[in-house]
Structure 1
Amino acid sequence: MKIDVVFIYTAFFEILKALPLTLVLTFIPLVIGFGIGIITALVRIYKVKYIYRVLDFYVSFLRGTPILLHILVIYWGLPLVIDRLSVYFGWGFKSSSIPSLLIVLTAFSITAGAYMSEIIRSGLLSVNRGQIEAAYAIGMTTPQALWRIIVPQAVGVILPNLCNIFVGFLHTSSLAFTVSQMELLGKASVVASVSLKFLEAYIAAAFIYWGLTLLAEKLTSFLEKKVTVYNRGGVA
């Protein structure tokens, strides 16, 4: 068996056309998930009555089940729920008009929220409790203390984990091909099916994933030096 190096080069640029969708499937769920994660983490830390137990279950269940399962359940279940509600309330709206990409993004975002919650919660809890008590002593409210004292320090702690979850969801985006979303790995499969050179196409896709991962690691390292300057006696 001989590897066609020229085809790897050709396939690389053909597969690269699917990069925008892959980035959409990675960034949008992480941004939405970060918002969900902040709310969930704060509710669980401060144990908001009744709600925190529901969110405990949400985090535990989503982190304890495969992401592919979330995609399939939401992809097939959400339209069913929407159609039932539409008939019941007489909306005249059908789930078939919802782009499948939106459903996949919903599944990824809900999952990302569960993982982000634990990352953010661990970051907030890593800051010495005495600092927030000192903030209260000088008249700060809880939101002020969180925003001006706790969050800046927590960000430095969670940055490596945020990089890890970015890389994880970058790779997880390949699962979207199971519901007909043409991301990088799906594009590689299509490119390979034309010439039956699957190994070469997958090697080309691997280089793209690897390049994005290296870029994320470099960016994280740069940001980590910036946001942890206070640890080195500097001023942020």
Structure 2
Amino acid sequence: MENLLDINFLIESFPTIISRLPITIGIAVGSLIISLLIGLTTALIKIYQVPVLKTFTTCYISFIRGTPLLVQIYLVFYGIPKVIYFFQTEYGWLQHIDVNIIPPEIYALLAFSINLGAYLSETIRSAIESVDRGQFEAARAIGMSPTQMMLKIIFPQALAVAIPNLGNMFISTIKDTSLVFIIGVIDIMGQAKILGSRGLAFFEVYIAVSIVYWIVCIVVERLLVLVEKRARRYERGVIS
């Protein structure tokens, strides 16, 4: 058993791996917040059939859903510096930005936000459209503006419908952050790879990091259940 698995090394690797947990959670939470804004904007564009923007939104969603996340990370990591450099040299814009000092975490955050935003767009759109049309008519009948109608009537009900899918996507995002090591971000997966290469004990560190991911996802799942119960207070017949 000792030759198969180094228990001591496995246990000792936990603190070092967990020390990088804030990076993993930070990217996941940050991308969720930004992607919610992207998803809500694109969902409303599709719902209200905004000319030109609707076509752009459709292409964006189709491209993101039709390409691997790994490719998107590379496109953001290598593409954004080239775009910034182009504007700097051709038009003299963005001169205050030094692409050489932009941390890789920023690129990871942008890549995950763009990716998750496309998927959340469809989730949010379907959640909004699931609200009974009578709710829209009632809000208009009492003189509510479109903004008031969305904030006070539609969004609270749509949120309760969307939360399960949002939660699943957030958990998937936490696990997908294991890809950010390819652009130099040292998250818990990256730290595990470094530890494994130092001690030539990849089996042990991958067991450790899988346990960390598992525990984090369980905690997030429990929190999402509480959030869903809280959101359900808007449903008819539920008393908060």
Shorter-chain TM range is over 0.9
User: Counterpart of 2:195?
Assistant: 191
Alignment partner of 1:177 out of 175, 181, 184? 181
Q: From the superposition, tell whether residues 107 and 123 of structure 1 become closer, same or farther in structure 2 (CA, over 3 Å).
A: same
* Contact 1:41–1:121, Cα closer than 8 Å, also in 2: yes
The answer as to 2:12 corresponding to 1:7 is no
Cα offset for 1:232? 6.2
Question: Taking structure 1 as reference, are residues 84 and 206 closer, same or farther at Cα in structure 2, changes over 3 Å only?
Answer: same
Which runs of 5 or more structure 1 residues have no equivalent in the other structure?
none
> 2:157 touches 2:235 (CA, 8 Å); kept in 1?
no
Q: Deviation at 1:149?
A: 1.1
Could you say if the C-alpha distance between residues 133 and 94 of structure 1 is closer, same or farther in structure 2, counting changes exceeding 3 Å?
same
Question: In the aligned structure 2, how far is the partner of 1:35 from the partner of 1:141?
Answer: 21
User: Which of 64, 67, 78 is 1:65 aligned to?
Assistant: 67
For 2:191, give the aligned amino acid: K
Q: Is the 8 A contact 2:156 2:234 kept in 1?
A: no
Q: Which residue matches 1:37?
A: 39
Superposed, which structure 2 residues align to 1:78-157 within 5 Å? 78-91=80-93, 92=95, 93-157=97-161
Kindly provide the amino acid, as one letter, of the partner of residue 132 in structure 2: N
Aligned-residue Cα RMSD (Å) equals 1.4
Residues 110-142 of structure 1, C-alpha deviation per residue, up to 9 Å, x if partnerless?
112111111111111111111111111111121
The CA deviation string for residues 80-104 of structure 1, in whole angstroms up to 9 with x for no partner, is 1111110112244542232222122
| Amino acid in the other structure paired with 1:95 | V
Q: Does 1:210 align with 2:217?
A: no
User: Which sits farther off after the overlay, 23-32 or 221-230?
Assistant: 221-230
Q: Deviations over 1:179-228 (max 9, x none)?
A: 11111111111111111111110111011101111111111111111211
CA deviations on 1:3-26 (whole Å, 9 max, x unpaired) are 122222111111111101111211
Amino acid at match of 1:186: G
Q: C-alpha separation between the residues in 2 aligned to 1:213 and 1:100?
A: 24
Cα distance in 2 between the residues matched to 1:124 and 1:231: 14
Q: Matches of 2:89 and 2:189 in 1, distance apart? A: 38
Instruction: Measure the CA separation in 2 of the matches of 1:80 and 1:14.
Output: 35
Question: What are the ranges of 5 or more consecutive residues in structure 2 without an aligned counterpart?
Answer: none
SS across alignment from 1:135: helix
- Give the TM-score, by structure 1 length: 0.95
Aligned residue pairs total 236
1:158 is matched with which residue? 162
Of 26-35 and 101-110, the range deviating more from structure 2: 101-110
Which residue of 1 is the match for residue 232 of structure 2? 228
Does the Cα contact within 8 Å between 1:67 and 1:111 map onto a contact in 2? Answer: yes
Kindly, what percent of the aligned residue pairs are identical? 39
Scaled by the length of structure 2, the TM-score of the pair is 0.94
Indicate the larger mover: 203-212 or 137-146: 137-146
